[in-house]
Amino acid sequence: MKRFTEKVHHEQQKEAVWVMREKDDEQSEQVGKRKSDEEQEDDSLKTPIVYSSRYGVRFCGMEKLHPFDAAKGAHVLKFLLKNEIFRHGRFYEPSEITKAELQKVHTRKYLRSLKRGYLRPMRFQTAGSILAGSLALRYGWAINLGGGFHHCCAYKGGGFCPYADITLLINKTLEEEPNVETAMIVDLDAHQGNGHERDFYENEKVFILDMYNASIYPRDHEAKLAISCAVELKPRTADETYLKKLKRSFKYALSEFRPDLLVYNAGTDILLGDPLGLLSITPEGVMERDQFVFATCREERIPIVMLLSGGYLKSSAKVIAESIVNLKTKGLLVY
């Protein structure tokens, strides 16, 4: 597989046309047990957005004093429910991921090193990412209001990322879904996604596009060898340059590799003023970024699962919610 950094081709974007992926009985059986008629009817009313009240990180009330938003998913949901196009109780809720499921990727030594009680919200978010992956295949898209722990690999964590939810999601899908043979990760968090890069090094079934601030954590040069398309940004990169580089690199990536599933790590730590991302993207820039990624996937008929990943401003939740509402308004979230 040819690897490159930034040198990509200009291509004109076409109008997005959404075509719903067909469902079949065999795929439904792969997802889980056959549901009753009543349960199927209930699911038909749901939106493929995944969330649990257990996502919020709590630590003796200290999270309220922290400058970061420890309940970002809950705040996104609150904003979404203020908009009448989304209704309360119509979302999917994951169960906590089990130790046995985690061991399908993580080493026992690494799992023993973790403080399980404090990390329980992350286990729910990890399960949410996996659930969102299966929903994306069913609906054509899905959004987990959490997850995106892209610094964690099979044998170590880092940067607020205790579990490798992206690896778990992709591995499970490749193993259990007969119609999914390839996957693409489009990592647009401000930081390099060194966790999934270490896990998928030299894996020809997974293509990684990673666009990140090259001057900040983690600067993992060994993990960079796994990136299929690397776009390294300078600090304070603003909307025009950012979006231009994204559009060129994403179009090029899809000309080189055809995924059956796309994992979109949609970090909002790219926002102007974020204390860790150190980029200068406006809320309008985030909205245009998300719209471009979703529209391209729909045009190419690629199921997409979106994970929230990083974003350390209190305003991030509102920006995310407004972007999701924009996707719905534009007709890009059909279910």
In a domain, 100, yes or no: yes
CATH code of the domain in which 42 resides: 3.40.800.20
- Residue 24's pLDDT is what? 43
Look up the pTM and report it: 0.87
Alpha-carbon dihedral angle through residues 152, 158, 160, 166, given to the nearest 10 degrees: -10
pLDDT in tens, 237-251: 999 999 999 999 999
What is the average pLDDT value for the chain, to the nearest integer? 88
Spatial strand order of the sheet with 261-265 comes to 4-5, 229-233, 206-213, 183-187, 261-265, 304-307, 141-144, 47-50, 91-92
Considering the domain boundaries, does residue 69 fall inside one?
A: no
Q: Is residue 19 part of a domain?
A: no
Helices and strands per DSSP (H, E), number in the chain = 12, 9
In a domain, 134, yes or no: yes
- How many domains are there within the chain? 1
Inside any domain, residue 23:
no
Flag whether pLDDT at 31 surpasses 60: no
- Choosing from 75, 106, 150, 151, the catalytic residue is 151
pLDDT tier at 2 (50, 70, 90 boundaries)? low
In a domain, 209, yes or no: yes
Is 106 annotated in the active site?
no
In a domain, 102, yes or no: yes
Distance CA 289, CA 266 (A): 9
Give a yes or no: residue 323 inside a domain.
yes
Which pLDDT belongs to residue 115? Answer: 80
Give the Cα separation of 101 and 111 in Å (integer). Answer: 12
> What is the domain extent for residue 109?
35-52+84-329
